[in-house]
Structure 1
Amino acid sequence: MAVPPAAPPLPPLVDHHCHGVVTAELGLGSFEPYLTESHAPAAAGTTFFDTQTGFAVRRWCPPLLGLEPHCPPAHYLARRREIGAYESTRLLLRGTGIGTYLVDTGIPGDLTGPAELAASAGAIAHEVVRLETLAEGVADTCGTPEAFVTALAEAVHDAARAAIGFKSVAAYRHGLALEPEPPGPAEVRRAAADWLAARQSGGRLHDPVLLRHLMWSAVATGLPLQLHTGFGDPDLRLDRADPALLTDFVKATDGLGSALVLLHGYPYHRQAAYLANVFPHVYADVGLAIAHTGARAAAVLAETLELAPFGKLMFSTDAYGLPELYVTGARLFTGALRRLLGEWVAEGAWSAPDAHRVAALLVSGNARRVYGLSDPGGDR
């Protein structure tokens, strides 16, 4: 029997949505919360290492630090402390296969920025600007609604000159069931007046009119707009994060030149795949879902590929805080992809050349096209 040819190596991955990593040394108590979306501690007598995410970390990360796969968490964390946070981050990131990072810088805290992340990884990084964080920073410097609206327009314009794209977390702040049309200037000024009057220092933006205004402001720049959909931490109402709720907004933005990228999706990843299927400017990923479904990642990816066109799905890790999450996100995605495509080739549903071509699209080619990244270096 002829032996099928080995699959060619994948190109360097483009992680089109991720965050920075912490720079401090971490013990069990400070490491473990990054393995979950929960704000609460693990149930008494248990640990968040006993999750799909925790098991994936123990499978893929210890060998990069010189340990056996599946070693006990205490051994792994001891090795991490022995090496030090900086060197652990460097070794882990350089073991991901990721060549380009698109970094959402909107999460507060002592996290690496794009340049620092790129230096540790030996890779390239670009910034994705979070709209709500941008607006809150503008509000801190403006005393009147008129000044806020003017300064916000300038801030979006300035950000678009350097950023690779924008992101909205309207799903967290209000939900995705927003009026689809852009609000008028008078409506924006009234909403700004109400928000600024009620806002205390550092208060977050929840007003649906201003959230819509931000989304439409980003669309007007022509840059891709990433939209959180699906599950997340407890600040989010899951039923309000179904991407299908964006259908009217998607229709309203069709033909305007800005790509809409539906992040994560799970458990609504099939809805996201449907929107990517029927609207030319809609794209999707399953980033957050992959790390949290672990050994079941192939099932989630297969369900997404049931309907998503192969030129419309992109790879991301949504890694935050831990360099380990970049490792698990990359290994789980590429492993699931190779498993699925290998099965489809073996049963004759796909040809091997088609499988190789689609794999390259999903891990890098689609993101390079959507975000205007050159090939292969990743610079704009």
Structure 2
Amino acid sequence: MRLALPPLVDHHCHGVVRHGLEDDGAFTSYLTESNAPPAPGTSFFDTQLGFAVRRWCPPLLGLDPHCPPERYLARRRELGSAEAARLLLRASGTGTYLVDTGLPGDLTGPGELAELGGGSARVIVRLESLAERTADATPDPDGFLETFGTAFIASARTAAGFKSIAAYRYGLALEPDPPTAGEVHAAAERWLEDRPPGGRLTDPVLLRHLLWSAVGTGLPLQLHTGFGDPDLRLDHCDPLLLTDFIRAVGPGGSPLVLLHGYPYHRHAAYLANVFTHVYADVGLALSHTGARAEAVLAEALELTPFGKLLYSSDAYGLPELYVVGARVFEDALGRLLDGWTSSGAWSPQDAERVAHLLAAGNATRLYGLTAD
């Protein structure tokens, strides 16, 4: 069915690269989660995501769908990075960007992204990045904990929510309960003593401290689960490993948002089904599965309550990924709803209502955004 959706709320995304995408290798590195080269004789355009970029993006820059990658990149160079980003972002249909600002690089900030895209933006604070910046400036344990606490409180006043990548740094099989103050201090002392300059936070006690600090604010806490780059161990990222933590947080704590999930998206759907304060999304998974996105979205909707599944693109680096995230989501959802309404399983009215919830309504409610 043809959906008349409101402007999308992209509840999990990142900035786009300002410069440096002039050649094929720089561009296509953003089409994969791998840090290895493509198979000989191919490029990362030869993926579901690469084909989706070639389907949806060339017409927005005045080219035919599925034009050769070389022609597409040449047209991008003709326009320049800023103009290409403006055209692509404004065509994505995104009205609100909730931006994880924890990634390094020459990326647009939330305000710049919103201006390019003609929408609005809010910040999602990445907990580990906040702690690492604090450690860079204050390597003494007492000073670190005090400074982090002050910075954390200040960020909570303006942030739309928090995000943790504990799945990358340790895995999701963390002890579920909050650590004691003594445990936190001892862990900070160990970490700061051994930490090389710019070193990552991997200590499980400190990661738990960050999670429980976020839970105490009542703001949504996004948790990476499932699919990601080779820094993680996928078997350590099954959202079911969070079950005891979810129980410990309880419905009185922060809403917990399970990001991505794939290939464990059915596990995330189960958790959203049985725990009041758990939500899910399939951002990243839909873009990377491309022509198979309908099947992934259908599996997520088997158990996830319709008021608890959120749209995101997880776009990073390329404005094209905002377009692909939006178009693949809308296309997959439209084809699903066509089948469900034509069979009589769903009414057209219910299909339209649920589509609006997934596209914007659920995120607007969860993050306390102002509805348009």
Output the TM-score relative to the length of structure 1.
0.97
Paired position in structure 2 for 1:267: 263
**Alignment match, 2:90:** 94
Deviation at 1:40, TM superposition (A): 1.1
Query: Please, which of 116, 122, 133 is the counterpart of residue 118 of structure 2?
Result: 122
Q: Given the alignment, which residue of 88, 104, 113 partners 1:108?
A: 104
Instruction: State the Cα distance separating 1:156 from its structure 2 match.
Output: 1.1
**Percent identical across equivalent pairs?**
68
Of the three residues 50, 53, 70, the one matched with 1:54 is 50
User: 1:3 aligns to what?
Assistant: none
- For 2:2 and 2:282, locate their aligned partners in 1 and report how far apart those are by CA, in whole Å: 23
CA deviation vs aligned residue, 1:104-125 (integer Å, no higher than 9, x gap): 0000010000000000000101
Does 2:319 align with 1:336? no
Confirm whether residue 137 of structure 1 aligns to residue 133 of structure 2. yes
1:78 aligned onto 2:78: no
| Displacement after TM superposition at 1:255 (Å) | 2.4
SS at match of 2:257: strand
Equivalent-residue separation in structure 1 for 2:83 and 2:285 (angstroms): 28
- Residue in 2 aligned with 1:320? 316
The equivalent position to 2:244 in structure 1, one of 245, 248, 251, is: 248
- Among 13, 19, 28, which residue is 1:24 paired with? 19
CA distance in 1, matches of 2:100, 2:369: 17
Task: State the Cα distance separating 1:257 from its structure 2 match.
Answer: 3.4
SS at match of 2:303: coil
Deviation at 1:7, TM superposition (A): 4.7
What amino acid is the match of 1:23?
R
What SS does the aligned partner of 1:244 have? Answer: helix
Worse overlay, 249-258 or 51-60: 249-258
Q: Judge conservation of contact 1:260–1:282 (CA < 8 Å) in 2.
A: yes
* 8 Å contact kept, 1:219–1:256: no
Counterpart Cα distance in 1 of 2:146 and 2:254: 22
Q: Extract unaligned runs of 5+ from structure 2.
A: none
| CA distance in 2 between partners of 1:227 and 1:244 (Å) | 12
Equivalent-residue separation in structure 2 for 1:153 and 1:266 (angstroms): 33
Alignment-derived partner of residue 149 in structure 2: 153
**Where does 1:139-218 land on structure 2 (aligned, <5 Å)?**
139-218=135-214
- 1:12 to 2:7 alignment: yes
Deviation at 1:149, TM superposition (A): 1.2
Contact 2:215 2:221 in 1 (8 A): yes
Separation in 2, partners of 1:91, 1:352: 33
What is the distance in 2 between the residues matched to 1:30 and 1:144? Answer: 39
Question: Does the residue aligned with 1:94 lie in a helix, a strand or coil?
Answer: helix
TM-score between both structures, scaled by the size of structure 2: 0.99
Q: Distance in 1 between matches of 2:343 and 2:304?
A: 21
Q: Distance in 1 between matches of 2:151 and 2:327?
A: 37
- The question of whether the paired residues in 2 share the 8 Å contact of 1:7 and 1:356 is answered with no
Report what 2:36 is aligned to: 40
Aligned residues, how many?
371
Q: Deviations over 1:312-337 (max 9, x none)?
A: 00000000000000000000001111
Distance in 1 of aligned mates of 2:123 and 2:100: 6
Amino acid at match of 2:111: A
CA distance in 2, matches of 1:375, 1:257: 24
Q: Is the 8 A contact 2:3 2:334 kept in 1?
A: no
Counterparts of 1:73 and 1:61, CA distance in 2:
11
In structure 1, C-alpha distance between the alignment counterparts of 2:36 and 2:91, rounded to whole Å: 31
Cα pair 1:25 1:84 within 8 Å, conserved: no
Map of 1:212-227 to 2, 5 A cutoff?
Answer: 212-227=208-223
State how far apart, in whole Å, the 2-side matches of 1:256 and 1:315 are: 24
- Compute the displacement of 1:8 (Å): 5.4
- Equivalence for 2:275: 279
Alignment of structure 1 residues 302-317 onto 2, 5 Å: 302-317=298-313
Name the CA shift for 1:106/1:305 in 2 (closer, same or farther; >3 Å).
same
Residue-by-residue CA offset, 1:11-66 (whole Å, 9 max, x unaligned) = 00000000000011411011010000001111221111000000000000000000
Equivalent residue letter for 1:335: D
Q: Structure 1 regions of 5+ residues with no counterpart?
A: 1-5
Q: Letter of the 2:90 partner, please give it.
A: R
Out of 344, 365, 372, the residue aligned to residue 368 of structure 2 is 372
Q: How far 1:146 moved relative to its partner?
A: 1.4
The separation in 2 between residues aligned to 1:278 and 1:197, in whole angstroms, is 42
AA aligned to 1:99 is G
